[in-house]
């Protein structure tokens, strides 16, 4: 028997309807009823799309107004105490307070009456951010199923089998955070399980046959206590007598595949895209009476599936004696755009290769028909055969397309000298010549790159894009912005300047648009968090740089000042990480190709007289594989890609990099291996604690720990900054220390930016005076 389903569907809407409905509700323009009505309509539309494309189940429970983990916090009744029930507040209002925070207006000291939101962090290795549950020893759980049941009742009106999707208890716990020192949230499991049991029993009472419980933590190097708890947890849930499909995805379960196959559940979903190697093991170990759900369609990328290869896997499954096989995307379709057909801006040659959620459901149906036909010992005929052949032709046509291949790039990469990723001399020598060249004071001050992206700038760019103003006019305005940024930085006395990035919409898109091998969609939005969406560039072919991308701007900015103005680039790993990337060659190869393009830009900046070049790598850490065993391989090519970008320059050219997060401790050797002359990082919110690791590791190069948090408009006090720099100087040799904010300032206003940077410069002066 063959059935099809999806683990989840994009909830934001084909035209981001949910985003706009949420934002107008938050602005107070619509009522809660109106917002609910929009959500209801969207869910119906999405279920109908699943029915229309032939899925055997529609999935209920994947909807959320903001985030699915946040929904589970309410479902399980474990909101932290600060979001306590208030009679005048609806449940949804409480939910929005929990995910967005709330500060009391008209209060001079906002901090006192502030209900800060839950923390947000990335969902496994995706770019989707979830709300982190908070746990203490007094956390209690209580089932609140009203909203889930309401969705089930809505779905029932469509008269189609329903599968409910929930996050499993162990993943829910593990992805949360203990807020009490010494308390292990794992200890809450015994309290949590009965509540899950009750929810499952209620689902059963509402006529639900199947529930999908997502346990992606099974793809991690999971601590022993969690692993060991699976068996007894699922045994306990079994008593609800609803059928459970345990869903794993994103990564291999190897190391514990056999026990996973033996868990007391009715079905297992595996990710055959990211963990293809698990399939033979599962075929061996999963008892034949259990449903095996094969995740055959990539839920993390946008390329059409090679259905022939997928069909092969299905045959193997039946050959192995499996009775009931379900076909599905590898994971929830939350991570891909709604659909691509009709997109107006994607390169028309690339467009037929792409599949969004809707196209992926169509692939699933085609695959089901083909598998059924094959099971009957027949071959596809008629319209289905035509569809299948067309599809496969398109898939093949991509792999053979000249559009993908640039012989010159391939040859250059193949012929790259083994020393191409090395600077001319080791850091100590470079540091000396750079000091002689730049003669910077102690604790040099700088910023991370961007200055406030004012409404003015955004309007200007929008009008330029729509051809309402010509290129000359556009650049006249941008030049004016740069001029003002430089004047401002000189006025307050910063040592190393930036041009402010006024010409950039987004740090990846800006480069993608100028590189060969990329294309952009008009509507390929993917939810990032809450109502926020991103539209990742599509990297389809060999990457090359037809011409200089930033040199004119950098040269112009440098001409305005005697002080060094940093050339500003985005690094190869970040460009890769924030795009949808071709899957017909190793990511490492693609990263090295991007690195070559950036390398040429770096060389040209140097030739244009730019003495300091910053190559941002904010996504360097998030590229880490979920399994530690694969870290080294990744870090090897990632640091190599960075070094290839950074190494064509003379010893006295100073390479900077920037990373805006602070969990470095486990990858310090790989950060050091990038060999940037200066690295700026985020540290202010951790009170410099995170710099300690760099100190203990004896990080060899120069470092600029962020001395104030740019995520809030608050202007820091001079004493605060002085204290932070002092603290930094205790763990890092003071002669290697720079002073800068945590990250770029594009989301800030000018007023607070001017004030904060002036304070930063004054604080630095206090320390210099002590020398």
Which residues participate in catalysis according to the annotation? Answer: 711
Residue ranges that bind ligand GLN, judged by CB under 6 A: 448-450, 501, 507, 568, 616, 618, 658, 660, 743-744, 746
Q: In the β-sheet with 2-4, what is the strand arrangement from edge to edge?
A: 2-4, 325-329, 291-297, 267-271, 243-247, 210-214, 162-167, 58-60
Strands 702-705, 678-681: pairing is parallel
Shortest spacing between CB 740 and ligand GLN, in angstroms? 10
Q: For residue 564, give every residue at least 6 positions away whose Cβ sits within 8 Å of its Cβ, in sequence order, or none.
A: 438, 496, 497, 558, 611, 612, 654
Give the number of other CB atoms < 10 A from CB of residue 277. Answer: 11
Could you say which of Zn ion, ligand GLN, none residue 143 binds, taking C-beta under 5 to 8 angstroms by partner kind? none
Q: What is the spatial distance between Cα 626 and Cα 124, in angstroms, rounded to a whole number?
A: 7
Pick 456 or 747: Cβ nearer Zn ion:
747
- Smallest gap from residue 492 Cβ to Zn ion (A): 21
Say how many residues make up the chain: 771
Cβ proximity to Zn ion: between 743 and 761 the closer is 743
CB 570 within 8 A of CB 511: yes
What residue number has its CB nearest to ligand GLN? 744
424 labeled binding residue? no
What angle do helix axes 32-52 and 91-100 make, rounded to 10 degrees?
80
Residue 449 interacts with which of ligand GLN, Zn ion, none, CB < 5 to 8 Å by class:
ligand GLN
Q: Report, in Å, the least distance between residue 756 CB and Zn ion.
A: 16
Among Zn ion, ligand GLN, none, residue 568 binds (CB under 5-8 Å by kind): ligand GLN
* Distance in angstroms (rounded) separating the CA atoms of residues 444 and 109: 33
Q: Minimal distance in Å, beta carbon 141 to Zn ion?
A: 37
What are the backbone angles phi and psi of residue 754, rounded to the nearest 5°? -60, -45
Closer to ligand GLN at the Cβ: 135 or 620? Answer: 620
Residue pair 710/744 in contact by the 8 Å Cβ criterion:
yes
If contact means CB under 5 to 8 A according to the sort of partner, which of ligand GLN, Zn ion, none does residue 364 touch?
A: none
CB atoms within 10 A of CB 669: 12
Nearest residue to Zn ion, scored by beta-carbon proximity: 660
| Nearer residue to Zn ion within complex by CB, 743 or 757 | 743
Q: Does the annotation flag 449 for ligand binding?
A: yes
Q: Is 122 annotated as a binding residue?
A: yes
Residue with tokens 């459901």: 361
| 18 in a labelled binding site | yes
Q: Is 720 annotated as a binding residue?
A: no
Shortest distance in whole angstroms from residue 633 CB to ligand GLN = 25
Q: Annotation-wise, does 450 bind a ligand?
A: yes
Nearest approach in angstroms of CB 179 to ligand GLN is: 28
The answer to the question of whether 762 is labelled as a binding residue is: no
Least distance to ligand GLN from the beta carbon of 159, Å?
48
CA distances to 266, 517, 700 from 347, in Å = 45, 10, 45
Closer to ligand GLN by Cβ: residue 168 or 705? 705
Cβ closest to ligand GLN, residue 189 vs residue 756: 756
Q: What is the full DSSP assignment across 90-131?
A: -HHHHHHHHHH-B--SS-S-TTTT-BPPPPEEE-TTSS-EEE
Q: Which residue has the tokens 């051809």?
A: 467
- Please indicate if the annotation marks 501 as binding a ligand: yes
Side-chain-facing half-sphere of 15: CA atoms under 13 Å:
3
Q: Which does 679 bind (CB under 5 to 8 A by kind): Zn ion, ligand GLN, none?
A: none
- 616 binding partner (options ligand GLN, Zn ion, none; Cβ < 5 to 8 Å by kind): ligand GLN
Cβ 142 vs Cβ 77: under 8 Å: yes
| Reduced DSSP (H G I as helix, E B as strand, rest coil) percent helix, strand, coil of the chain, to 5 | 45, 15, 40
Q: Work out what residue 62 binds among ligand GLN, Zn ion, none; the CB cut-off runs from 5 to 8 Å by kind.
A: none
The binding site for Zn ion (CB under 5 A) comprises: 618, 660, 743
Distance CA 238, CA 739 (A): 57
Residue 478 known to bind ligand: no
Name the DSSP letter for residue 636: H
Per the annotation, does 396 bind a ligand? no
Binds 450: which of Zn ion, ligand GLN, none (CB < 5-8 Å by kind): ligand GLN
Tokens of 602: 């770096």
536 binds, among ligand GLN, Zn ion, none (CB under 5 to 8 A by kind): none
- CA dist 623 and 635 (Å) reads 9
DSSP designation for 700: -
Nearest distance, CB of residue 202 and ligand GLN, angstroms: 44
Q: Least distance to ligand GLN from the beta carbon of 132, Å?
A: 21
578 in a labelled binding site: yes
CA-angle at 300, arms to 298 and 305, nearest 5°: 25
Q: Which is nearer to ligand GLN, 47 or 620 (CB)?
A: 620
**Is residue 466 annotated as involved in ligand binding?**
no
Between residues 333 and 507, which has the closer beta carbon with respect to ligand GLN?
A: 507
Q: Whose Cβ is closer to ligand GLN: residue 611's or residue 618's?
A: 618
DSSP 651-695: TTSEEEEEE-----GGGHHHHHHH--SEEEE--GGGTTTTHHHHH
Interhelix angle 718-731/750-770, rounded to 10 degrees, is 50
Q: b vs e for 354-379, b when ≥16 Cβ sit within 10 Å of the residue's Cβ?
A: bbbbbbbbbbbbbbbbbbebbeeeee
Q: Binding site for 5-methyltetrahydropteroyltri-L-glutamate: residue ranges?
A: 16-19, 122, 532-533, 578, 622
| Residue stretches of the annotated binding site | 16-19, 122, 448-450, 501, 532-533, 578, 616, 622, 658, 660, 682, 743
Binding residues for L-methionine: 448-450, 501, 616
Binding site feature residues for L-homocysteine: 448-450, 501, 616
- Binding residue ranges for Zn(2+): 658, 660, 682, 743
């Amino acid at each position: 028997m063959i059935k099809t389903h999806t683990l989840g569907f994009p909830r934001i809407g084909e035209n981001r309807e949910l985003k706009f409905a949420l934002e107008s509700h938050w602005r107070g323009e619509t009522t809660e009823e109106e917002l609910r009505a929009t959500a209801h309509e969207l869910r119906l539309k999405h279920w109908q799309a699943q029915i229309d494309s032939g899925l055997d189940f529609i999935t209920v429970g994947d909807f959320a107004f903001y985030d699915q983990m946040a929904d589970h916090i309410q479902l399980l009744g474990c909101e932290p105490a600060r979001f306590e029930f208030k009679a005048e507040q609806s449940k949804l209002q409480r939910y929005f307070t929990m995910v967005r925070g709330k500060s009391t207006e008209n209060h001079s000291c906002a901090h006192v009456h502030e209900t800060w939101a839950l923390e947000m962090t990335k969902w496994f290795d995706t770019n989707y951010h979830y709300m982190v549950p908070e746990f203490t020893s007094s956390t209690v759980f209580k089932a609140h199923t009203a909203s889930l049941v309401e969705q089930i009742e809505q779905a029932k009106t469509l008269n189609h089998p329903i599968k409910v999707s929930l996050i499993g208890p162990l993943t829910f716990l593990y992805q949360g955070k203990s807020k009490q020192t010494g308390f292990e949230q794992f200890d809450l499991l015994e309290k949590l399980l009965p509540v899950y049991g009750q929810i499952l029993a209620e689902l059963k009472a509402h006529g639900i046959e199947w529930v999908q419980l997502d346990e992606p933590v099974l793809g991690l190097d999971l601590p022993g206590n969690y692993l060991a708890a699976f068996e007894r947890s699922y045994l306990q849930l079994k008593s609800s007598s609803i059928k459970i499909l345990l869903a794993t995805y994103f990564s291999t379960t190897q190391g514990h595949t056999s026990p996973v196959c033996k868990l007391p559940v009715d079905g297992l979903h595996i990710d055959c895209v990211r963990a293809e190697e698990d399939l033979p093991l599962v075929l061996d170990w999963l008892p034949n009476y259990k449903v095996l759900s094969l995740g055959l369609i990539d839920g993390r990328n946008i390329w059409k599936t090679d259905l022939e290869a997928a069909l092969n896997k299905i045959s193997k499954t039946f050959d192995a004696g499996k009775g009931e096989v379900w076909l599905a995307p590898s994971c929830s379709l939350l991570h891909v755009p709604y659909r691509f057909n009709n997109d107006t801006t994607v390169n028309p040659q690339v467009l037929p290769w792409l599949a969004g959620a809707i196209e992926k459901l169509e692939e699933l149906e085609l695959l089901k028909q083909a598998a059924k036909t094959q099971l009957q010992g027949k071959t596809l005929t008629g319209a289905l055969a035509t569809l299948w052949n067309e599809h496969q032709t398109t898939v093949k046509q991509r792999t053979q397309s000249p559009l993908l291949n640039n012989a010159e790039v391939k040859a250059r990469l193949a012929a790259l000298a083994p020393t191409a990723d090395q600077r001319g001399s080791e850091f100590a020598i470079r540091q000396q010549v750079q000091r002689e060249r730049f003669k910077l004071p102690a604790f040099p001050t700088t910023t991370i790159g961007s200055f406030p992206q004012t409404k003015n700038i955004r309007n200007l760019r929008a009008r330029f894009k729509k051809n309402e103003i010509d290129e000359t006019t556009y650049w006249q305005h941008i030049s004016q912005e740069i001029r003002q940024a430089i004047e401002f930085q000189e006025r307050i006395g910063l040592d190393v300047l930036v041009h402010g990035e006024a010409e950039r919409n987004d740090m990846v898109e800006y480069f993608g648009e100028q590189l060969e091998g990329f294309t952009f969609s008009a509507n390929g939005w993917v939810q990032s968090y809450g109502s926020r969406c991103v539209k990742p560039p599509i990297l389809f072919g060999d990457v090359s740089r037809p011409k200089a991308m930033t040199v004119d701007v950098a040269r112009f900015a440098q001409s305005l000042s005697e002080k060094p103005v940093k050339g500003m680039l985005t690094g190869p790993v970040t460009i890769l990480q924030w795009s949808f990337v071709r899957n017909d060659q190793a990511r490492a190869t693609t990263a090295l190709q991007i690195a070559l393009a950036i390398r040429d830009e770096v060389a040209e900046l140097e030739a244009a007289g730019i003495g300091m070049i910053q190559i941002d790598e904010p996504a360097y850490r998030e590229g880490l594989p979920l399994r530690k065993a694969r870290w080294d391989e990744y870090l090897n090519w990632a640091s190599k890609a960075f070094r290839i970008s950074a190494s064509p320059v003379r010893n006295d050219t100073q390479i900077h990099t920037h990373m805006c997060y602070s969990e470095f401790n486990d990858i310090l050797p790989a950060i050091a291996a990038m060999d940037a002359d200066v690295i700026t990082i985020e540290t202010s919110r951790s009170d410099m604690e995170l710099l300690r690791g760099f100190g203990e590791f004896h990080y060899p190069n120069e470092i600029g720990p962020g001395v104030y948090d740019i995520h809030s408009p608050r202007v820091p006090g001079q004493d605060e900054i002085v204290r932070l720099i002092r603290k930094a100087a205790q763990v890092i040799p003071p002669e290697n220390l720079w002073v800068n904010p945590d990250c770029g300032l594009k989301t800030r206003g000018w007023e607070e930016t001017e004030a904060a940077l002036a304070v930063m410069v004054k604080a630095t002066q206090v320390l210099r005076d002590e020398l």
